[in-house]
A and B are shown apart, each in its own frame.
With several copies, the nearest count.
Chain A
Amino acid sequence: MKFTILVNEGPYQHQSSDSALQFIRAALEKGHEIFRVFFYHDGVNNGTRLAVPPKDDRLIQSEWSTLAEEHGVDLVICIAAAQRRGLMDADEAKRQGLDANNIAPGFRISGLGQLIDGNIEADRTIVFGD
């Protein structure tokens, strides 16, 4: 079965990122397909590569990158939500005249159409948020 996952909150502040990661790993283990993970609202903050949490804690942002690398999961950050909150890839930073970018490996920035497309293509959409 194909799942699209929507993540509406940033890492650490709410458990939603952790719950989504656990759900996705369990789904992959059972042989399901994760069609797409879409990050909206503060969820875009999952995609930063500048996080350095305490050594004895999990690094949520890296866990997403690992998921993309090992399972080819499509991690899409909403561009409008990202612009409000300061999550940038190299192209978008350049286009906006900014001097830095902060996106983590495995994430891509795109439009809300990618969410709707994911909802249409997947058998189920599961929403994690506050």
Chain B
Amino acid sequence: MSMLHIVNKSPFERNALASCLGHALEGDSVLLIEDAVVGAIDGSNFIEQIKTAMADKSVYVLGADLAARGMQENRVAEGIQIVDYAGFVDLAANNDKTQSWL
């Protein structure tokens, strides 16, 4: 019974991603969209929390939102998977349920 967690806020601006990671369970997936994509950039202050989460969860980032904010795919920390909107739909369908951390 896996959950897709959707986060759309920058972890530098809001506590949504931190709160999400504090409640996601082993085997869950976390998708970063909209302003949350800035949390996926390697070398940022927040990336260690994401790397820790990736020990037992999958983390995804929406490529279109990355590109809009000027970030090339090679800036994304290793292990974070880049998806398009079709991939977003697949994640929503393939997990048993979803939760948006607004």
B interface majority secondary structure = helix
Are A124 and B34 in contact, with the CB atoms below 8 A? no
| A: number of interface residues (CB 8 Å) | 22
Over the window 14-56 of chain A, the binary record of Cβ atoms lying under 8 Å from chain B Cβ atoms (1 yes, 0 no) is 0110010011011101101000000000000000000000000
- Are A26's CB and B102's CB within 8 A? no
Among A3, A8, A129, point to the contact of B92 (Cβ < 8 A).
A3
Whole-angstrom distance from the CB of B86 to the nearest CB of chain A? Answer: 5
Query: Would you call B100 and A26 a contact (CB within 8 A)?
Result: no
The reply to whether the CB of B10 lies closer than 8 angstroms to some CB of chain A is no
Q: Which residue of B lies closest to A128 (CB)?
A: B100
Flag B4-24 by CB within 8 Å of A: 1 or 0 each.
Answer: 001010000000000000000
- In the complex, are the beta carbons of A127 and B86 less than 8 A apart? no
Residues of A within 8 A of B67 (CB): none
- 5 A-B pairs with CB atoms under 8 Å apart are A22-B64, A27-B92, A32-B93, A124-B93, A129-B100
